[in-house]
Chains A and B, each alone.
Chain A
């Protein structure tokens, strides 16, 4: 029971490692950014799953309810999602510029061009 109750962390770790794997193994810069956002989403899930209280409900106060989930992680992740998309946009903008000056977004081809120069 005790060990099974930890499954949320395991899902998070699997997702996190998938994202990590994409970031380090793929040469395509867009896929790297997608990998980063999967990694990021796994952190969101980690926070949100920790905020859950068994039998609790969404933290919108009402007199008939006595148990709520923890609102603090919700706040942190809520803002993190929007900040995340803004920074992803910045990363994608960098990719677009790289593509314009190198003509490719594959990491190894960029490196080859750099060595020639």
Chain B
């Protein structure tokens, strides 16, 4: 598969492109294995955002990797032995698709059988994500938030000088067709992100995917019209605030549940009718996740590119 080529190549640009393809392939694999929500996320994240991130890193660090000097035999031997052991270990595993595998025996039947009465959200992935395992998701949005802050702390450029004198227009400003097509596409992408956000109860989708798609639209805009134009449209303090607002919204829903007499993140307490409460809770929580994910992705992209702009300015 493409992963093999990744090992062999030294042109990092080609490697990054191949990882994009690799992500897309795994996304289609996830569809085959019924994980539509996951495939959605992988396609948006792996083939879109992370490829872009890698590329913006390459503009900062240079394109070619050095020929490896050390002998790869030791590494190869370690890898072969570990791999052989792991494959030996799989011999006791249940075969693929077998319904009697231990993984299908414990909590999953309850989710599948009872979630319609308890939560009344057809997409079980959403109800498990936001309600049954709400704590996990809360933790994960905090991790994303923290990673965003970490990137900021490492790469933030103090904006003493306007970036506009370095790069008044985007790197692709001269491509008229791209600009016009993007102008038509960006509102549609944003609209689609909102659809994914609020339709997550019924079909594949939810806060994580919507956040990533939303961020992708903004990133597309900033690639074509320049970072400074994008920064004027969406002011940075606003995104910083929004990334915190998302996490706080999630946490706040939990606190609201407690104030209304339930446990933390027990949405039953949010309304008279437990099912309506669940709906409201899931909606708010997914919204919080979506806001955090979108703004953190935008922050990460802006800081990476702001860095490369200021680098270029320094070299001149």
Contacts and interface: CB of A to CB of B under 8 A. Distances in A.
Interface of A: 2-3, 5-10, 13-22, 24-28, 30-31, 34-35, 37-38, 41, 44-45, 48-62, 67-90, 92-97, 99, 105-106, 108-109
A70 B136 CA distance: 18
Contact of B96 (A7, A27, A90, A96): A7
Given A41-B46, A69-B33, A83-B144, 5 more contacts: A7-B96, A30-B57, A31-B15, A85-B45, A93-B155
Contacts of A71: 108, 111-112, 124-125, 128
Given A7-B96, A58-B204, A93-B154, A52 B38 contact: no
Contact of B12 (A16, A31, A57): A31
Nearest to B16: A34
15 contacts: A13-B86, A25-B76, A34-B6, A37-B19, A41-B23, A49-B96, A58-B36, A70-B103, A79-B137, A81-B42, A81-B45, A82-B211, A87-B143, A92-B57, A105-B62
Given A68-B124, A71-B125, A82-B140, A9 B155 contact: no
Interface residues of B, number: 97
Interface of B: 1, 3-4, 6-7, 12, 15-16, 19, 22-23, 26, 29-30, 33-38, 41-42, 45-46, 49-50, 53-54, 57-58, 60-62, 65-66, 68-70, 72, 75-76, 78-80, 82-83, 86-87, 90-91, 93, 95-99, 101, 103-104, 107-108, 111-112, 115-116, 122-125, 128-129, 133, 136-137, 140, 143-144, 147-148, 150-151, 154-155, 202-204, 206, 208, 211-212, 293, 296-297, 300, 303-304, 307
